[in-house]
Amino acid sequence: SQQGEEDPQALSIQEGENATMNCSYKTSINNLQWYRQNSGRGLVHLILIRSNEREKHSGRLRVTLDTSKKSSSLLITASRAADTASYFCATDYNNDMRFGAGTRLTVKP
């Protein structure tokens, strides 16, 4: 079963703008991960944030985690057309990983 919700379900922005995706979950976690999936392909790991961390950066990616609200956000700054993909959050608890519904991001050139 899926773990939680992501919003928005779809997001369309212009190149150069920032994209923010949110993820809410329901249970305890050891860590939360964000993945990217191009259409019809496998998933690529983007970033992992542990339950005791609040914010993490990797290049143009910024992830926040609020365990009190059971929510996380992924910010992609200065978006590019190549960032067009589906983005999924996944919660990991004792090796049990569950995915959110995903956000389909379209970046227009």
Partner 1 sequence: GAVVSQHPSWVICKSGTSVKIECRSLDFQATTMFWYRQFPKQSLMLMATSNEGSKATYEQGVEKDKFLINHASLTLSTLTVTSAHPEDSSFYICSARDPGRVSYGYTFGSGTRLTVV
Q: Which residues sit at the interface with partner 1, rule CB under 8 A?
A: 1-2, 33, 35, 40-45, 47-48, 88, 90, 95-102, 104
Closest distance to partner 1 from the beta carbon of 55 (Å): 16
- Give dist(CA 108, CA 30) in Å, integer: 36
Residue 50 or residue 80: which is nearer to partner 1 going by CB?
A: 50
Residue 43 or residue 75: which is nearer to partner 1 going by CB?
A: 43
- Decide: 9 and 101 in contact? Cβ < 8 Å: yes
Structure tokens at 73: 């956000």
Name the DSSP class of 67: T
